[in-house]
Structure 1
C-alpha cells in the first residue's frame, strides 16, 4: 500500500532540508581552523535605486523560531544519504544537545519599512560557535528568499510615488492614495506561500487587496487587526450567467444587492460590448445608480488599456457629469473606473499622464494589478545576493570576498559589516567593523541602522504593520 503523501507544510517544516543540496557538503570544505563565519545580504542594484526592506519577520517566525528535533535530523540524514551528499549529523546533534535545537546564529537587519539605497547591507548573519560556524552560510537558501517580499514591497513603494505625484497634481484628496493600487495577484503566483508573502509586501504601501492570503499574513505575522480591505465586485461569470439578454438585469442585481449609501460596487462591464454596457449604465440604470447612494466602479477588462480607460471615462462623464476641482481637473459624479487588465509600472504612468492631459483628475481611476505585481519579479530584479564576507581562523577574523574579473558587478563586500544612518540627512552608509559589532562605537551624526532581530532561536524584534507603514512613508508627512 502506498504511503500517504506528506503535505507541503510538513515538507517545509524541516529547516535542515530548506537549503540547496551542495550546502550539505560545505562543512567539509572550509579551512581546518575555521571557527566563526559572517555573511550579509544586499541588493546589488537593479530596476530601482532604492529598496524598501520588508518580510524578514515573517521568515524568522515561520522557519527559525522553532527548534531542530531529532526526527528532523533523522529525516535529513536519510534524505542526503539517498541523494548523494554527505551529512553533518554530529553538527546537527550538537545543536539539539547544546542549544535545545535552536540555531546559534545572530541575525541583524535594518528596520522593516526602511527605504535604503541599493549596494548597502540589509541583513547580516553570524555564527561564532566553532562546532557549527557553517550555519551562517547554510541558511543562505532560506534567508535569501527575502529578495521576494523586498522586491514586491519596493515595486509597490515606487508605484505609490507615481500615484502620489499625480494625485498631488490633479486631485484635492490625497487620502485616497492607499487605495489606488489594488492587489489582483493571487491567482497569478506560483504558490499559496507566494500569495501570502508577496501579498503582504504590497500592503506596506497600499490598503486594497483581493489576495486574501496576503492580508492574513500581514495580520498574523505583523500583529495587525486588518491590513487591507476589499469591496463586492462582479466577475464575468456572475454577469454572463444571466445571458446576453439579461445583462442589464445582472447589473441591476448588483445595485440591489450591494448598492447601499456610502458603499462601493465594482462591476465588470465588457462581457459582450463595453460601449453598449456603458450606454445601459448611463441611461436605463442611471437613476438607480444615483438613488443607491453607492459609488459605482466600472471595470473594462479588455482592449488597449490607455485607449479604453479614456473612452470609458468620457462616456461616463457624458452620462453622469463631472465637477471641476481646485486643480482644474474633472471628477466624475457617482461613478469611477478600475483598470485591471494590462497594468504594470509603465502602463500606470502612461494612463495617469493621459488622464491628466485630457483634463481628468486621478480621483476617477483605481488600478488593479495582478501578475506584474506579485509574479513578474525575480531575484535579479534587484540583483539580490548573500555572501560570506568574513571568517575567523582560530582566534583571528579575516575578510573574504569574491571579485570575478569577468563581472565587476558581482564583486562582494569584505569584512564584518554594518549599516549606519546619518540622523541629520538620512543618508545610509555600509562600513566595515574593526571590532566585534557589540564593541563598536558610532560617533558624530551617524547611528547604527542594524539591530539584532534574531538570536539563538529567539525573535528580538516584533514590529507591527502600522509601525512599518509609518517608516516606509515617513517622507510623505
Structure 2
C-alpha cells in the first residue's frame, strides 16, 4: 500500500474514515435479522446540571451534507485492508447506487440554543435501510464530537449567569453583559478546527472575541453577518520593542494611534513593573487619556488575579477618580481593567466578589479567558455518550441498553426516544416512542422538542445565530 497522499482537509472530508477503527467490523457483529437501528446522544451529568445545545449544524454542514463517492470507498477499502479491519464495500456501494452517495439516516435534535437538564436525549440518529442499518452507530465518532461545542457553550452560558448576577447587584448598565467575557483561546487549543468550533460556541453567550476562526465559523455556519467584535490591543512585543526607557512613549503611541472619541484602547501594562506603569497612566499620560475621548483598558497580565485586579482598580481610582452609581458602587472615570491571566469559572466569581466587597461595580472589569475557555474541557466534563437504544429485528423494534453492574452511571436508555417540552413551564422529559413516529399520543400540555434536522443528505433546518442566542437567553427578560 502506498502512503496516503493529499492534505489533512481532504482526508477529513471522507466520512467513511471519520470513525473509530473497530466500527468497520461491526456490520458483521449484529444479529443477522437486524434491519434498522436507533441511537441517541445525551449528557449523563457532569459539572453543570443543564447543557446549552449548540454545534450540530456545523458538523452536519461540514461532514454529512456531501455525498459519498466511489473514490472515497476505494480509499477506505485500501486503508482498512492494510489496517487489519474488514470493510463493508457492498454497503457503501449501495449508498452510492441507491442514494447518490447521501447517507440514508434521519437525525432529530432539540433546537440549538435550548438549555436542557442533563440525562435527557438531545439528538437521535436512525437508519431503517436493512442494507446499511449500522450507519446509526457508525456515525457515532463524528456526531458525538458535538460534546465539544455543547460543553463550551454550556460553560460560557453559566459564566454569563455569574457575571449577570454581579452586574444586577452592582451596576446600572446590564447592556454591557455580552462583552464582559472575551475569548482569548485561539492559541491555546489543539487545532484550528477546535478554535473555530469552540470559539463559535462561546459566542452564543458573548459578543467579544479574538478567536478569528470562531467568529468566522459562527458567521458562516449560522448565517450571521458579524457574530463578535474586538478592539485594538497591545501585546508585550508592541510595548517592549520601544525599550524600557521609552515605555511611556509606547503607551502614548497607543493613544495616538487608536484613541478617538468613543473608542476602546486596550494596553497590556505589566511588561516591566505594573505599578510603575499605573503611575505613568495616572500622571504623565492622564491628560492624554482624558483628551482622547477613548476608554483606556489596562491589562495586568501577571501575579495573583484576585489581588492584582483589585490593586489595579484602586490605583486607577486614586488617579482618575470614580463615580458612585445608584447601587452605591464606584465606577472608574475614563478607564477600565481587563484580566486575561488565570481566568476560569472559580476566579471570575472570586474577583467579582472581591470588587463588590471593596465597593466597586462590575462595570470596571472585563475578563479575557483562554485555555480554560476552549481547551480545559473534555467529553467527561458533561459525561457525553451516544448509545444504540433500539434495533429492528425483522419487522419488530426491540429496545436495547447497557447496565454495567460496576457503574450504574453508565446505564443507557432503551427504546426509540424523543424529548418532550412542557408548553407552559418549559420542563423537559425524555420518553420512549410508540412503534411508529406518527402514532404518538401526547398530553395537551407537552410538545415534541426534537425536530428532524437532517435526512438522507439534506439539511432540513438551517437556524441562524440570532435564533440560537434568543433561545439561550430567553429567560433573561
When the two structures are superposed, what TM-score results if normalisation uses the length of structure 1? 0.99
Give 3-state SS (helix, strand or coil) of 1:328's partner.
coil
Gaps of 5+ in 2: none
For 1:5 and 1:279, the matched residues in 2 are separated by 58
| Residue equivalent to 1:122 | 122
Cα shift readout 1:39-68 (whole Å, capped 9, x = no counterpart): 000000000000000000000000000000
Correspondence 1:21-420 to 2 at 5 A: 21-420=21-420
Indicate the RMSD between aligned Cα atoms, in angstroms: 0.9
Structure 1: unaligned runs, 5 residues or longer: none
Please give the alpha-carbon distance, in whole angstroms, between the structure 2 residues aligned to 1:79 and 1:358. Answer: 63
Give the length in aligned residue pairs: 476
Q: CA-to-partner distance for each residue in 1:302-359, whole Å, 9 max, x for gaps?
A: 0000000000000000000000000000000000000000000000000000000000
User: How far does residue 439 in structure 1 lie from its aligned partner after superposition?
Assistant: 2.7
**How far, CA to CA, are the matches of 1:4 and 1:434 in structure 2?**
47
CA–CA distance in structure 1, aligned partners of residues 340 and 201 of structure 2: 19
The answer to whether the 8 Å contact 2:224/2:466 transfers is: yes
How far is 1:437 from its partner? Answer: 2.1
* Contact 2:223–2:464 under 8 Å retained in 1: yes
CA distance in 1, matches of 2:88, 2:158: 44
Q: CA deviation at 1:435?
A: 2.1
Distance 1:308 1:373 in 2: 21
Partner Cα separation in structure 2 for residue 392 and residue 94 of structure 1:
20
Post-superposition shift, 1:442?
A: 2.2
Shift of 1:5: 4.7
CA drift at 1:443: 2.5
Distance 2:34 2:152 in 1: 37
Q: TM-score, normalised by structure 2?
A: 0.99
Look up the SS of the partner of 1:360 in the other structure: coil
Q: Secondary structure at the match of 1:272?
A: coil
Report how far residue 441 of structure 1 moved: 3.4
Alpha-carbon distance, 1:265 to partner: 0.2
Q: Distance in 2 between matches of 1:156 and 1:296?
A: 26
Q: The residue matched to 2:438 in structure 1 has which SS?
A: helix
Task: Please give the alpha-carbon distance, in whole angstroms, between the structure 2 residues aligned to 1:342 and 1:3.
Answer: 44
Separation in structure 2 between the aligned mates of residue 270 and residue 5 of structure 1, nearest angstrom = 47
